[in-house]
Amino acid sequence: EKPVCECNTCYEGPDCSQFLPDCAANADSGDPLFLEPFWMQHAESSAVLVAGWHRMSYVFADHTSISQVLVNHILKVHSIARNAITKGKYIVFGVGSTQLLSAAVFALSLKSSSPARVVAASPYYPVYKTQTDFFETVHFEFQGDALVLKNTSDSGENVIEFVTSPNNPDGHLRKAVLPSANAIYDRAYYWPHFTAIPAPADEDIMIFTISKLTGHAGSRFGWAIVKDKDVYLNMCEYFQLAEMGVSRDTQLRALQLLKVVLEGDGSEIFHFAYEKMRDRWEKISQTVSFSKRFTIQEIPPQYCNFFEKIRGPSPAYVWFKCEREEDTNCNDVLGAANIIGRSGSLFNSEDRYVRLSLLKSDDDFHLLLYRLKELVAREDGTE
């Protein structure tokens, strides 16, 4: 009997080859399936098999600790990407970087007796607000836009600032806007895949994730590189109380993936990811350049420490703008053209902007490009 074929969203038929002409281009989520072909090329060496009797203990009780081996692999990947200074710093694992963001707020908020105010400069990744609101304690609360605080006479005492660099949604390399704040640098996208690396990052708290490095968002593994011992210990306490450590199975998978990343001279994944993201960006840029109605963000070419040359942009997202005065809700305009994006207001910006993800599968990207071309071609004609 033939197996029943599970087709991708936009296809049907016995061999999934029939394209559904009305299918929407979904560019909403940041699911990093653009790396799937890389892992198909390394299917065998990246596979993990664990016998039932293996690694049954709690994380703290496992004396055959793979954690240190995993730390060493993480340090090696950073030294190849030349994107972070790790010497003399502590490493904490987390269930995705999502949990590390929360642990970092918790750890920093214990530094002072008065409640910390948590801020981020707009447009910002929405989870900083939603998560801080959700976990709010007497020690901290979300205050909003860092740029608003910067423009007041407030000295910014006891402030925690999330700094996303490069930024989600617009891909710009950022620095903290409040000089006296305790900054949490979210470095999820600070890989040659998505940005030039002008210099290795050297902030007090830097948070990374395999979600955007290898694409394994479902494994839920991230790490923080922390300078201050007390902050590190507070973050460890958070994980001990919340989770009793990060799953051994997850650590084992992350280790196997990083082993493959480090094969050869360890640069293959960076070349693969950069080429793919740059190609996607160039195709979108070229399409939008024919439009008078829409624009996308500009990212200047910059010197890259990894490629040792000036290189162009390859961001994870398009920060798409509707320029016509009447197009105040750009997501509606895109929706009418069968394109699903994420509205600017979710990033504490205007709905004149929409975030379009470039991280998804090849099929998703091709459909997005096709629908955008249709939309731009119609501009001078029927509309």
Interaction between residue 170 and ligand PMP (CB under 6 A): no
Rounded least distance, CB 168 to ligand PMP, Å: 4
- Total residues contacting ligand PMP by CB under 6 A comes to 13
Binding mask 53-92 for ligand PMP (x = CB under 6 A): ----------------------------------------
Residue matched to tokens 């708290």? 205
Rounded least distance, CB 356 to ligand PMP, Å: 14
Torsion of CA 97, 99, 104, 106, to 10 degrees: 170
Interface segment toward ligand PMP; rule CB under 6 A; list 38-46, 93-101, 112-120, 282-290: 93-101
Extract long-range pairs of 16-22: CB within 8 Å, 24+ residues apart.
Answer: 22/338
Q: How far is CA 231 from CA 61, 75, 96, 139, 205, in A?
A: 24, 20, 19, 15, 9
Rounded least distance, CB 273 to ligand PMP, Å: 16
- Cβ closest to ligand PMP, residue 185 vs residue 294: 185
Interaction between residue 156 and ligand PMP (CB under 6 A): no
Q: What is the Cβ-side half-sphere exposure of residue 333, based on CA atoms within 13 angstroms?
A: 25
Q: What is the C-alpha separation between 166 and 157, in angstroms, rounded?
A: 25
Interaction between residue 166 and ligand PMP (CB under 6 A): no
Interaction between residue 171 and ligand PMP (CB under 6 A): no
Interaction between residue 215 and ligand PMP (CB under 6 A): no
Given 26, 102, 164, 214, the residue binding ligand PMP (CB under 6 A): 164
Q: What is the C-alpha separation between 298 and 82, in angstroms, rounded?
A: 25
Torsion of CA 209, 213, 217, 223, to 10 degrees: -20
- Cβ closest to ligand PMP, residue 294 vs residue 319: 319
Alpha helices in the chain (DSSP H): 36-41, 67-81, 96-109, 127-134, 146-150, 210-213, 229-242, 248-261, 268-289, 330-336, 362-378
- Cβ closest to ligand PMP, residue 127 vs residue 337: 127
- Cβ closest to ligand PMP, residue 217 vs residue 333: 217
Q: How many other CB atoms are found less than 10 A from the CB of residue 18? A: 12
Q: What is the C-alpha separation between 115 and 13, in angstroms, rounded?
A: 58
Q: What is the C-alpha separation between 286 and 294, in angstroms, rounded?
A: 12
Burial class (CB in 10 A: 0-12, 13-18, 19+), 150: middle
State whether the Cα torsion 118-119-124-126 is positive or negative. positive
Q: What is the C-alpha separation between 31 and 33, in angstroms, rounded?
A: 6
Binding mask 30-49 for ligand PMP (x = CB under 6 A): x-------------------
Interface segment toward ligand PMP; rule CB under 6 A; list 7-15, 95-103, 230-238, 344-352: 95-103
Q: Which two tokens stand for residue 119?
A: 């801020």
Interaction between residue 349 and ligand PMP (CB under 6 A): no
Helix/strand/coil for 132:
helix
Rounded least distance, CB 75 to ligand PMP, Å: 19
Question: Restricting to residues 97-116, which ones interact with ligand PMP according to CB under 6 A?
Answer: 97-98
**214 and 269 Cβ atoms separated by less than 8 Å:** yes
Given 211, 214, 314, 331, the residue binding ligand PMP (CB under 6 A): 211
CB-nearest residue to ligand PMP = 96
Rounded least distance, CB 27 to ligand PMP, Å: 14
Given 28, 145, 186, 364, the residue binding ligand PMP (CB under 6 A): 186
Binding mask 216-255 for ligand PMP (x = CB under 6 A): -x----x---------------------------------
Interface segment toward ligand PMP; rule CB under 6 A; list 51-59, 96-104, 175-183, 267-275: 96-104
Residue matched to tokens 């979108």? 284
- Cβ closest to ligand PMP, residue 178 vs residue 206: 206
Strand partners, 311: 302
Which residues bind to ligand PMP, rule: CB under 6 A? 30, 96-98, 125, 164, 168, 186, 188, 209, 211, 217, 222
